[in-house]
């Protein structure tokens, strides 16, 4: 145990490269500088005779007029308002990596036939085509130099290579003098130094890092030499861009080359295990999603840069860009520059026009989030480490004694025999099956950790099997790569090898994973991968994977491949299959299909609590709605007030888990005494009361890609004041949450957008005023408001776990808007199996309008109640209470009936208090269509 801590605390921020220390970053930035200076003209031209338009694809050849290298481009006009641009070398020395699509896309996207070639093209200058049902979308490919514009109603939305940064370093032989890459001035030498250099020295410096690169004494042998790709992508008229997690930055991304408060380095995407990460930084963290969303009043657009190699993104904004737009007025524009170390250009553009359109367009390409088991959205209790079986039993009992619900208890690496995953340290956990069954009996679950490195130990079956199957990642000399991680000397199975996937999936079968039961689920950590002995604490780039591909090409998807195999393993272990639960630290485009992710090793500090909101909002709009941050902070010991505030915030974030480093003091919710225990209990209970609401949001995210927690600009797309707001957000479209993130706060400002009515979530009092309103803050809760117009389902009985609430009755909160109307939904299924895919679920639409409140079915699968397995076994679940807020005409009588029993109308009992009406026990079942009428 002691050894592992020593290893990790050796890691320092200077272990990570800056742009200036990364040769392809230097080269591409310098290329951009050259392109923006003076008379530069991009050397890439379309060879116009090669242009072909067929089945929704415009293809042709490009030539780099400086070195005569040829490229193939393809522009696919896709269904769903999306466009794909692919560019590769025509005759590469050897194939370039183009396998990211197999990991990240759920299928090859379909081209649309809804397009028309524009005859006025004059094929000499440009090629253009209109698409979309109304043909109001247009793509224009300019030939000399090559650049592309995407327009809607003749207004440019996204442009490519308009700034001339397109730079495709073709593969070359080392000694071929003709094929030197574009020589550039190194940005890390100052002018004086530059002057004293001889021509020869300059050339040497310029070529540094092309064929070999060293960082902190670790050599990257670059057998393929320079092979980076770069492209500028602009969003004319868009002042805000979001996305490209994972960074500890602002929601609305900052500029990276100048600008107010901007960064000096580009945003970096390179999955890394960063020890004690800094806040407000563009440096890389554990996961990478090269997806960026641009938003302005009236339009949203997005791009996905499908590349899994190390990638950097520069962002600059211009204040006055009339030239781009023809709007006739000064509009801000955002210009971005993307470059990756290797691979090909494969970029998707999503043209919205709304954010929800984009989430749908992006999700139908890369997959929507998997619907989790219902326990997964309850509260999780973790720590590095629960010491032994007795400790687990005591913590479990502690929750019951203190009347605090929870769903899952977690075991970190110390539960294993010498960090050999799939094993148990039998001195601490002598009967793991009994331990899990004891937990399971209370409706709870357990999670154990399984990391991607494998202890090099001939007596360890996992090691032996992996070695015998020849599925280990090789070093550049062809030997199994040896890296240092928790167990010491380790090997790394190549999760990109189908044989490794097949093998690993089977390791989760109950008869393979000894001591596992159906109550056990999995946590994937260190899958960036973390290699303590490697460059930047990760794998060397020149390692060799399946089919001979260098690690360099696929680094950012490696962790996801491990996550995918683990998740499939859990699916396959039961028949019929159950939904998996696997938390992963590393992530990439598509990870949402395999399970939640979390933001890694944060700190027990107020600013880390504050940073969790923009981080999770960003990850959510980038396609992974199920994410969380360690509640309480991983490193350090939170003071009770911070811990309470963190629970109160965590209860309103999608993945809700308390976790702490092995060196920290114990901090189970009852250890700080009163009043703190009560505050934490209340926060966790609020989560449980709202589980039906959360579960419904998860179901919707799994079908339309809508993030579960939503930035203000997603809910109020036309309100410019919200565009950079990140300290308050919505859960769905109904609950406005304002985390309290500083010590001793007694009031805070909340921004109430729009002309809606808002109600205090706890007191149901109407909020007076709109815009910025100062509200009082107490220690027992954070400000949460219900937006008028929404109906939310709750379960209000306190139980020990989500499963214990399975058949509980519902309370519906109807928060009326100014027109006296409200709508909402409720989704319910067995919370565990895949039966819902065959229609065995309840999906209700609630609607309150003109004094009539109805519940109707949204079950599109048309599985009638008597054939619906879920309803059959849950048909007696009732509504026990309906609370209507903001009613202006108080009813004299309230009548309720089932829609198919219209003659059987019943008068319902109700209570009125000011403008709130409470109907107790309306005697209606949740699964049926019904109507409640308010008679004045």
DSSP-based three-state secondary structure for 767: coil
- Closer residue to ligand NOJ in complex, CB, 487/839: 487
Cα 625 to Cα 627: distance, rounded to the nearest angstrom: 6
The interface with ligand NOJ within residues 500-529 (CB under 6 A) comprises 525
* 733 C-beta neighbours (distance < 10 Å), count: 16
Q: Which residues pair with 776 in a beta bridge?
A: 747
Vertex 458: Cα angle to 452 and 462 (nearest 5): 35
State the nearest-atom distance from the C-beta of 29 to ligand NOJ, in Å. 32
DSSP-based three-state secondary structure for 294: strand
- Closer residue to ligand NOJ in complex, CB, 32/537: 537
State the nearest-atom distance from the C-beta of 143 to ligand NOJ, in Å. 50
Cα 630 to Cα 814: distance, rounded to the nearest angstrom: 33
Cα 405 to Cα 799: distance, rounded to the nearest angstrom: 6
* 167 C-beta neighbours (distance < 10 Å), count: 27
User: Which is it for strands 291-296 and 299-305: parallel, antiparallel or unpaired?
Assistant: antiparallel
- Closer residue to ligand NOJ in complex, CB, 595/886: 595
Q: What is the DSSP code (8-state) at residue 110?
A: P
Cα 883 to Cα 919: distance, rounded to the nearest angstrom: 6
Secondary structure E strands in 608-705:
627-628, 656-658
Residue nearest to ligand NOJ (CB): 384
Q: Which two tokens stand for residue 429?
A: 């956990």
With a CB cutoff of 8 Å and minimum separation 6, the contacts of 870 are 828, 829, 830, 835, 836, 840, 841, 842
State the nearest-atom distance from the C-beta of 525 to ligand NOJ, in Å. 5
- Closer residue to ligand NOJ in complex, CB, 43/636: 636
Q: Is 482 exposed, middle or buried (0-12, 13-18, 19+ CB in 10 A)?
A: middle
Cα 244 to Cα 607: distance, rounded to the nearest angstrom: 21
Q: Which residues pair with 657 in a beta bridge?
A: 380
Interaction between residue 600 and ligand NOJ (CB under 6 A): yes
Interaction between residue 246 and ligand NOJ (CB under 6 A): no
- Closer residue to ligand NOJ in complex, CB, 220/414: 414
State the nearest-atom distance from the C-beta of 601 to ligand NOJ, in Å. 5
- Closer residue to ligand NOJ in complex, CB, 384/698: 384
- Closer residue to ligand NOJ in complex, CB, 384/785: 384
- 511 is an active site residue: no
State the nearest-atom distance from the C-beta of 449 to ligand NOJ, in Å. 6
Interaction between residue 585 and ligand NOJ (CB under 6 A): yes
State the nearest-atom distance from the C-beta of 131 to ligand NOJ, in Å. 45
State the nearest-atom distance from the C-beta of 442 to ligand NOJ, in Å. 25
State the nearest-atom distance from the C-beta of 286 to ligand NOJ, in Å. 8
Cα 909 to Cα 918: distance, rounded to the nearest angstrom: 9
- Closer residue to ligand NOJ in complex, CB, 541/585: 585
Q: Taking a C-beta distance cutoff of 8 angstroms, is the pair 352, 300 a contact?
A: yes
* 277 C-beta neighbours (distance < 10 Å), count: 24
- Closer residue to ligand NOJ in complex, CB, 276/475: 276
Q: Which of 412, 601, 756, 830 is catalytic?
A: 601
Q: What is the DSSP code (8-state) at residue 536?
A: G
Residue with tokens 């928060």: 815
Alpha carbon separation from 850 to 217, 365, 853, 902 (Å, rounded): 73, 41, 8, 19
Q: Taking a C-beta distance cutoff of 8 angstroms, is the pair 295, 725 a contact?
A: no
Q: Which residues pair with 295 in a beta bridge?
A: 240, 300
State the nearest-atom distance from the C-beta of 271 to ligand NOJ, in Å. 13
The interface with ligand NOJ within residues 610-639 (CB under 6 A) comprises 634
Q: Taking a C-beta distance cutoff of 8 angstroms, is the pair 236, 321 a contact?
A: yes
- Closer residue to ligand NOJ in complex, CB, 396/412: 412
Among 413, 531, 690, 863, binds ligand NOJ (CB under 6 A): 413
- 525 is an active site residue: yes
- Closer residue to ligand NOJ in complex, CB, 603/810: 603
Vertex 287: Cα angle to 282 and 292 (nearest 5): 65
Backbone phi, psi, residue 919, to 5°: -105, 115
- CA dihedral 104→109→115→121, nearest 10 degrees, is 50
State the nearest-atom distance from the C-beta of 276 to ligand NOJ, in Å. 11
Among 396, 601, 756, 880, binds ligand NOJ (CB under 6 A): 601
The interaxial angle of helices 498-506 and 551-572, nearest 10 deg, is 30
Q: What is the DSSP code (8-state) at residue 877?
A: P
Site string for ligand NOJ, 637-666 (x = CB under 6 A): ----------------------x-------
- Closer residue to ligand NOJ in complex, CB, 384/870: 384
Minimal CA–CA distance to 695: which of 369, 364, 363, 373? 373
Q: Is 255 exposed, middle or buried (0-12, 13-18, 19+ CB in 10 A)?
A: middle
The interface with ligand NOJ within residues 899-918 (CB under 6 A) comprises none
Q: Which of 525, 542, 808, 829 is catalytic?
A: 525
State the nearest-atom distance from the C-beta of 585 to ligand NOJ, in Å. 6
Q: Taking a C-beta distance cutoff of 8 angstroms, is the pair 233, 314 a contact?
A: no
- Closer residue to ligand NOJ in complex, CB, 384/759: 384
Site string for ligand NOJ, 261-300 (x = CB under 6 A): ----------------------------------------
* 54 C-beta neighbours (distance < 10 Å), count: 8
State the nearest-atom distance from the C-beta of 526 to ligand NOJ, in Å. 6
The interface with ligand NOJ within residues 434-473 (CB under 6 A) comprises 449
Longest dimension (CA), the chain: 98
Q: Taking a C-beta distance cutoff of 8 angstroms, is the pair 552, 545 a contact?
A: no
Among 412, 550, 641, 726, binds ligand NOJ (CB under 6 A): 412
Site string for ligand NOJ, 365-404 (x = CB under 6 A): -------------------x--------------------
Q: Taking a C-beta distance cutoff of 8 angstroms, is the pair 814, 759 a contact?
A: no
* 492 C-beta neighbours (distance < 10 Å), count: 28
| 12 φψ region: left (φ > 0), alpha (ψ -120 to 50), beta (else) | beta
Interaction between residue 425 and ligand NOJ (CB under 6 A): no
Interaction between residue 314 and ligand NOJ (CB under 6 A): no
- Kindly state the helix (H) or strand (E) to which residue 484 belongs, with its residue range: strand 483-485
State the nearest-atom distance from the C-beta of 538 to ligand NOJ, in Å. 14
Interface with ligand NOJ: number of residues (CB under 6 A): 10
* Residues contributing to the site for ligand NOJ (CB under 6 A): 384, 412-413, 449, 525, 585, 600-601, 634, 659
User: What residues act catalytically?
Assistant: 525, 601
């Amino acid at each position: 145990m002691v050894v592992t801590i020593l290893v990790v605390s050796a890691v320092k921020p200077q272990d990570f490269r800056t742009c200036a220390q990364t040769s392809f970053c230097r080269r591409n930035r310098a290329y951009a500088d050259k392109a923006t200076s003076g008379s530069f003209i991009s050397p890439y031209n379309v060879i116009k005779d090669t242009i072909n338009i067929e089945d929704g694809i415009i293809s042709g050849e490009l030539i780099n007029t400086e070195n005569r290298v040829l490229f193939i481009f393809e522009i696919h006009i896709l269904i769903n308002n999306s466009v794909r641009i692919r560019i590769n070398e025509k005759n590469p020395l050897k194939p370039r990596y183009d396998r990211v699509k197999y990991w990240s896309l759920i299928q090859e996207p379909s081209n649309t036939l809804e397009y028309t070639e524009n005859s006025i093209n004059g094929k000499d200058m440009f090629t253009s085509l209109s698409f979309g049902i109304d043909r109001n979308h247009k793509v224009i490919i300019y030939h000399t130099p090559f650049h592309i514009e995407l327009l809607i109603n003749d207004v440019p939305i996204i442009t490519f290579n308009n700034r001339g940064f397109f730079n495709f370093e073709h593969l070359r032989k080392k000694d071929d003098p003709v094929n030197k890459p574009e020589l550039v001035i190194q940005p890390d030498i100052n002018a004086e130094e530059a002057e004293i250099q001889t021509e020869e020295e300059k050339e040497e410096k310029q070529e540094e890092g092309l064929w070999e690169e060293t960082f902190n004494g670790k050599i990257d042998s670059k057998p393929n030499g320079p092979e980076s790709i770069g492209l500028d992508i602009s969003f004319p008229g868009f002042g805000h861009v979001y996305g490209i997690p994972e960074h500890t930055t602002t929601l609305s991304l900052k500029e990276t080359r100048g600008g107010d408060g901007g960064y000096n380095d580009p945003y970096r995407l390179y999955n890394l295990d960063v020890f004690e990460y800094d806040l407000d930084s563009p440096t890389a963290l554990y996961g990478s999603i090269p997806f960026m969303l641009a938003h302005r009043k009236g339009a949203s657009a997005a791009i996905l840069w499908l590349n899994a190699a190390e990638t950097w993104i520069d962002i600059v904004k211009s204040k006055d860009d009339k030239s781009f737009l023809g709007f006739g007025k000064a509009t801000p524009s955002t210009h971005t520059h993307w470059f990756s170390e290797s691979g090909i250009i494969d970029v998707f553009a999503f043209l919205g026009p709304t954010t929800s359109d984009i989430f749908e367009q992006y999700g139908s390409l890369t997959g929507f989030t998997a619907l989790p088991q219902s326990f997964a959205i309850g509260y999780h209790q973790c720590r590095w480490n629960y010491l032994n079986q007795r400790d687990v039993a005591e913590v479990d009992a502690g929750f019951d004694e203190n009347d605090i619900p929870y769903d899952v208890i977690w075991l970190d690496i110390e539960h294993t025999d010498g960090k050999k995953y799939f094993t148990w340290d039998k001195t601490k956990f002598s009967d793991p099956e009994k331990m899990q069954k004891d937990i399971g009996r209370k409706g709870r679950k357990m999670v154990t950790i399984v990391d991607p490195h494998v202890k090099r130990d001939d007596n360890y079956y996992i090691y032996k099997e992996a070695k015998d199957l020849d599925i280990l990642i090789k070093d550049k000399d062809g030997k199994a790569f040896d890296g240092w991680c928790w167990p010491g000397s380790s090997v790394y199975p190549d999760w990109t090898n189908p044989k490794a996937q097949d093998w690993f999936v089977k390791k989760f079968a109950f008869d393979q994973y000894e001591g596992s039961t159906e109550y056990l689920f999995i946590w994937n950590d260190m899958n960036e991968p973390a290699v303590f002995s490697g460059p930047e604490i990760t794998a060397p780039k020149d390692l060799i994977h399946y089919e001979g591909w260098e690690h360099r090409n696929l680094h950012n998807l490696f962790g996801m491949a491990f996550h995918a195999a683990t998740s499939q393993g859990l699916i396959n272990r039961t028949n019929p299959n159950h939904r998996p639960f696997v938390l992963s630290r590393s992530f990439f485009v598509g990870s949402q299909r395999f399970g939640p992710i979390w933001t890694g090793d944060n700190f027990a500090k107020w600013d880390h609590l504050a940073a969790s909101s923009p981080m999770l909002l960003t990850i959510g709009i980038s396609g992974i709605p199920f994410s969380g941050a360690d509640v309480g902070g991983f490193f350090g010991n939170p003071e009770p007030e911070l811990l309470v505030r963190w629970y109160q915030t965590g209860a309103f974030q999608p993945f809700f888990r308390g976790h702490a480093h092995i060196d920290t003091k114990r901090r189970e919710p009852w250890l700080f005494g009163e009043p703190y225990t009560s505050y934490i209990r209340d926060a966790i209970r609020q989560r449980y009361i709202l589980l039906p609401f959360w579960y419904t949001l998860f179901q919707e995210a799994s079908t339309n890609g809508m993030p579960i927690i939503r930035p203000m600009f997603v809910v109020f797309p036309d309100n410019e004041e919200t565009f950079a707001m990140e300290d308050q957000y919505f859960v769905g479209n109904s609950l406005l949450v304002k985390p309290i993130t500083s010590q001793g706060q007694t009031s805070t400002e909340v921004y109430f957008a729009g002309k809606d009515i808002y109600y205090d979530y706890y007191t149901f009092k109407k909020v007076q005023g709109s815009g910025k309103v100062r509200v009082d803050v107490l220690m027992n809760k954070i400000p949460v408001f219900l937006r008028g117009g929404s109906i939310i389902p709750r379960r209000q009985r306190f139980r020990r776990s989500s499963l214990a609430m399975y058949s509980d009755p519902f309370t519906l909160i109807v928060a009326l808007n100014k027109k006296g109307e409200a709508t909402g939904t409720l989704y319910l299924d067995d919370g565990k199996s895949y039966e819902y895919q065959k229609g065995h679920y309840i999906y209700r639409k609630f609607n309150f309008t003109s004094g009539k409140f109805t519940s109707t079915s949204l079950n599109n699968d048309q599985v009638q109640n008597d054939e619906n397995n879920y309803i059959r076994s849950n048909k007696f679940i009732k509504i026990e209470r309906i609370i209507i807020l903001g009613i202006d005409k108080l009813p004299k009588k309230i009548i309720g009936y089932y829609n198919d029993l219209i003659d059987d109308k019943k008068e319902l009992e109700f209570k009125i208090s000011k403008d709130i009406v409470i109907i107790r026990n309306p005697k209606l079942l949740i699964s049926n269509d019904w109507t409640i009428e308010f008679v004045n």
